[in-house]
Amino acid sequence: ISDKGDIEKLYAKISIGFLLVQDVIAIVLLFALPVLSAENGSFGALARTLLRASLAALLVFAFSHTAVRWMQAYLGRSREFMFLFAAAWGIGIAAFFFSVGFSIEVGALIAGIALAFLPSRHEIMAHFKPLRDFFIVVFFVLLGSQMVFADVQALLVPALILSLLVLIGNPLILLTIMGLLGYKRKTSLQTGFTVAQISEFSLILVALGVQLGQ
């Protein structure tokens, strides 16, 4: 969306909102799955975990809204300082969440959301785009290197079903919902085509479920 320069268009705003809601659900599941899969797991334990996570996130956002905003006047003088600070912020918040018993992925996501509220978010995004693209390539290369092709025939049908659900089912569901809500067909189509994908974040969620034996 940003590469096309469509950030301010209606379909882009709806798509981003839709994807953000998906991320929120994924975050809750990343907290919930390990707790509920434990032998002594319960909804009470899940509620306590979510409360601790909410307090940690509020602490991060409060620090970002006060101290980091104050530091921006100094960081903005140098692109290198801004880049180094944003990298240190992401790694530091991820380490903080890991130290209090949560996953690194959740901590990194919270760190990114906190930076997204800063006035200099566009500069930070521009500086990190090459690094982000590099690590996405590394992620998928690592994922591909772990694939086992011993029984391709058994995987073919589930892979086709999942692909059809993502590439066709996902846009059709959103297209139907937006049509019922009264949006124009062009807006509905553009939004549907935009969300015809899954992110690496969803693969992390699937990997967690496999790791827990679900």
Q: Average pLDDT, whole number, for the chain?
A: 84
Q: Report residue 161's pLDDT band, with 50, 70 and 90 as the boundaries.
A: very high
Mean pLDDT of all residues in 112-130:
82
pLDDT number for residue 95: 93
Decide: pTM greater than 0.95: no
Query: CA of 180: how far to CAs of 145, 184, 201, in Å?
Result: 43, 10, 29
Query: CA of 59: how far to CAs of 54, 64, 84, 96, 124, in Å?
Result: 9, 9, 22, 11, 22
pLDDT number for residue 138: 92
Would the pLDDT of 208 be above 80? Answer: yes
Q: How far apart are CA 10 and CA 175, in angstroms?
A: 14
Most confident of 101-115, 137-151, 168-182: 168-182
Q: How far apart are CA 49 and CA 57, in angstroms?
A: 12
Q: How far apart are CA 103 and CA 29, in angstroms?
A: 12
pLDDT number for residue 94: 93
